[in-house]
Structure 1
Amino acid sequence: MKTNLDIIRATYEGASADNGKHLLAALAPTATWTEAAGFPYAGTYTGPDEIVAKVFSRLASEWLDYRATVHTYLADGDRVAAFGVYSGTYRATGKAMSATFAHLYRLEGGKIVSMEQYVDSAIVRQAMQA
């Protein structure tokens, strides 16, 4: 049986399409996904469809080579934290960015029930400004 850490690692460490497939499989039907205040996609989204539409579809259409590269994971019971760096180039401005992030996941029964993002959003917003 996969551990909570295995489940979260599988959403970051493969090809982009595989990561997305693993994330969708791991999300509970009522999972909440909170993008940090100040981040361009700030808000709390519920369920896989809303999470994909409000976060991942926008990232894919608005950024070139957007990546979330994790350098450290910490697991403690039902919680897994992923620490890393976002990178990408905003299509509308052509500006690249590299911003640190932390994601805190809570899992129940092998499914992600919540994710909360912490990020240096000022760096991301700078890339988005002409």
Structure 2
Amino acid sequence: MGANLDLVRATYEGSSEDNGRNLAAALAPDATWTEAEGFPYAGTYIGPDAIVAGVFHRLGTEWIGYSAKVHTFMEDGDRVAAFGVYSGTYKATGKSMTAHFAHLYEVRNGKIGTMVQYVDSHMVMQALSAAE
């Protein structure tokens, strides 16, 4: 297991709020974080403040018990992939979801430079929908 994998793995430990704090310390100042199209927080966020506010703060305040549990990590030089399952209950609708995800990171000089999310966004969006 390499240093890049260790860096990324550490960002998945704890609650969504903990992950946001741990991640902020691991991000490069100019890091880009891309949430998948069709996901509630879709788009690219640049810099730790924008990433934490646009993604992690919202996960921590809009969901009950939101988690990203990784079952597999893979490292290939500067790239680290994390594969797992999201779960949680959306507060506004009371609906729960589980959705498979993959995150692809690029690490530069010991900091996370980029992350791209791949996710079954349909499962997540069903939790946000008020219609039964």
Q: Which residue in 1 is equivalent to 2:103?
A: 103
Amino acid at match of 2:91: R
Q: 1:55: which partner in 2?
A: 55
- Paired residue for 1:92? 92
Deviation for aligned residue 1:18: 4.1
Aligned residue-pair number: 128
Alpha-carbon shift at residue 22 of structure 1 (Å): 2.2
Question: Secondary structure of the residue that 1:56 maps to in structure 2?
Answer: helix
- Root-mean-square deviation (CA, aligned residues, Å) is 1.1
SS of the equivalent of 1:8 reads helix
1-structure distance, mates of 2:40, 2:29: 24
The DSSP-based 3-state class of the residue aligned with 2:86 is strand
CA drift of 1:123 comes to 0.4
Q: Which secondary structure state, in structure 2, belongs to the residue aligned with residue 86 of structure 1?
A: strand
In the alignment, which residue of structure 1 is the partner of 2:73? 73
Counterparts of 1:56 and 1:18, CA distance in 2:
9
CA distance in 2: counterparts of 1:82 and 1:59, whole angstroms: 18
Q: Name structure 2 gaps, 5 residues minimum.
A: none
1:23-63 Cα deviation digits (max 9, x unpaired): 11110000000000010100000000000111111111110
Q: TM-score, normalised by structure 1?
A: 0.95
Alpha-carbon offset, residue 15 of structure 1? 2.0
Aligned twin of 1:24: 24
Could you list the per-position Cα deviations for residues 36-91 of structure 1 after superposition, in whole angstroms to 9, with x for gaps in the alignment?
A: 00101000000000001111111111100000000000000000000000000000
Note if contact 2:4-2:107 (Cα within 8 Å) is conserved in structure 1. yes
Q: Is the 8 A contact 2:20 2:52 kept in 1?
A: no
Distance across 2 between alignment mates of 1:18 and 1:54: 15
After the TM superposition, which segments of 4 or more aligned residues of structure 1 sit over 6 Å from their partners?
Answer: none
2-side partners of 1:7 and 1:37: how far apart? 26
